[in-house]
Amino acid sequence: MSFTIMHSQGNARTGIIKTKHGNISTPCFVPVATQAAAKALTTAQLNEVGSQILMVNTYHTFLRPGMEVIKKFGGLHEFMGWNKPLMTDSGGFQIFSLGKQNAAKVQGNTITFKSPRDATLHEFTPSRSMQIQETLGADIIFALDECIDFHTPYEQVKESVKRTHDWAKECLVSHERNHQLLYGIVQGGKFQDLRTHSSEFIGALDFQGFGVGSLFGEPKEESKNVLKWAMSGLPREKPVHMLGIGQVDDIFDAVEQGADTFDCVLATRLARMGYVFSSECTKRSKWRYRITNAKFRLDRKPFDKNCACWACTNHSRAYLHHLFKADELLAYTLASYHNVAFFHTLLTQIRESIEQNTLAQLRKKWLR
């Protein structure tokens, strides 16, 4: 078994995912290293803030640097200089979300798309996605799925779910049984019967773990239900990853449903836009503030008074404000560093609260 549940409180649990490149204590936040690099952060800095595993995007690395380069290095770990666990997505999400740019078309089990950079034509199939991800060599990989907008109408979603299920079976067949953990992905839009069906169908297959996709949606109450349906058919003893989940309240909701890992670009993307996550902020401000606001010009306080990260220990809001105003590259590094540390700290608190059966209190404190 590559996943061990250590402690449960309701559906929430702490656990350990064992991989060739080390163990991951769950629930765990997974920073995104889109193009085989976390934006503005070195691997040393990611280690410092406590990153246990990174998510690399198959689509991006497939196009650049391309498979020849990755093969030369024997995989992403060596190429990136990161010797802890990695996960790669299937490539599907980017192909579909960048649909207009790359003219993606689906026919049977084949997605064709054009590289937005050089207009070269590419084909992804379930087995090709497996091959590529095996070459990338991440510790956790995902079955190819069709990603659809949360608000896609019923009939279209139904058809798409069928396709995702067919592809999941194909991925299982083509996957070489190596050290990589293959996760199947639950889809089904916002519809109870489709999500439940997808959860049961994917959950019954011989995957080592599961992902839940296409969860972006408003209102929040609706996506909370969707999450519940998506988890309903999954075997409890296997790990579950939430694709692209990263708001504080969404993380609490997902953890309470039994989710184990979460990747999200928000921590680093918002950092580059000047947003700083802080435990001093509330749900109303989405736990963040904009450091470029004039009121921080003379503010000697750390970014977040409750944060023990290196950036908060050594720098002030006024300094970060200055760096953004002065277009200094260091601004992106310091904000990204802290924001990633913020989410790791949050997840550490969540792990501790589950062990102490105080998750509800922690949630209340954060969601005040």
- How far apart CA 319 and CA 325 sit, in angstroms, is 10
Secondary structure (DSSP) of 193-207 = HHHHHHHHHHHHS--
The yes or no reply on residue 121 touching its own copies (CB under 8 A) is no
Q: How many CB atoms lie within 10 A of CB 195?
A: 27
State yes or no: is 253 an active-site residue. Answer: no
Which residue's CB is nearer to its own copies, number 80 or number 254?
80
Question: Which is nearest to 92 in space by CA: 76, 65, 109, 111?
Answer: 111
The yes or no reply on residue 267 touching its own copies (CB under 8 A) is no
Binding segment for its own copies (CB under 8 A), chosen from 4-12, 134-142, 244-252, 308-316, is 308-316
The yes or no reply on residue 38 touching its own copies (CB under 8 A) is yes
Q: How many residues bind its own copies (CB under 8 A)?
A: 39
Which residue's CB is nearer to its own copies, number 6 or number 298?
298
Binding segment for its own copies (CB under 8 A), chosen from 11-19, 65-73, 89-97, 249-257, is 65-73
* Cα torsion through 96, 185, 286, 366, rounded to 10: -170
Q: Which of 323, 335, 340, 341 binds its own copies (CB under 8 A)?
A: 323
Which residue's CB is nearer to its own copies, number 61 or number 353?
61
Q: Which of 5, 205, 318, 360 binds its own copies (CB under 8 A)?
A: 318
The yes or no reply on residue 364 touching its own copies (CB under 8 A) is no
126-136 and 154-174 helices, crossing angle to 10°: 50
Q: Interface residues for its own copies in 324-343 (CB under 8 A)?
A: 325-326, 328-330, 332-334, 337
Backbone phi, then psi, for 287, in 5-degree steps? 60, 35
Catalytic site residue from 139, 260, 263, 304:
263
Q: Which of 6, 10, 11, 42 binds its own copies (CB under 8 A)?
A: 42
| Residue 285: CA count within 13 A, CB half-sphere | 12
- How far apart CA 319 and CA 298 sit, in angstroms, is 9
Give all strands (DSSP E) within the chain, no chain letters.
Answer: 3-9, 12-19, 22-26, 28-30, 54-56, 86-88, 105-107, 110-114, 121-124, 140-142, 181-186, 209-212, 240-242, 261-263, 275-277, 288-290
Catalytic site residue from 89, 250, 253, 260:
89
Binding segment for its own copies (CB under 8 A), chosen from 33-41, 170-178, 228-236, 354-362, is 33-41
Q: Which of 6, 69, 121, 308 binds its own copies (CB under 8 A)?
A: 69
DSSP state of 36: S
Q: How many CB atoms lie within 10 A of CB 162?
A: 16
Binding segment for its own copies (CB under 8 A), chosen from 71-79, 126-134, 180-188, 233-241, is 71-79
The yes or no reply on residue 40 touching its own copies (CB under 8 A) is yes
Instruction: Give the CA distances from residue 205 to residues 186, 191, 235, 352, in Å, rounded to whole numbers and listed in that order.
Output: 11, 21, 10, 32
State yes or no: is 89 an active-site residue. Answer: yes
Residues marked as catalytic: 89, 263
Binding site for its own copies (CB under 8 A): 35-44, 64-65, 68-69, 72-73, 79-81, 297-298, 300, 310, 314-316, 318-319, 322-323, 325-326, 328-330, 332-334, 337
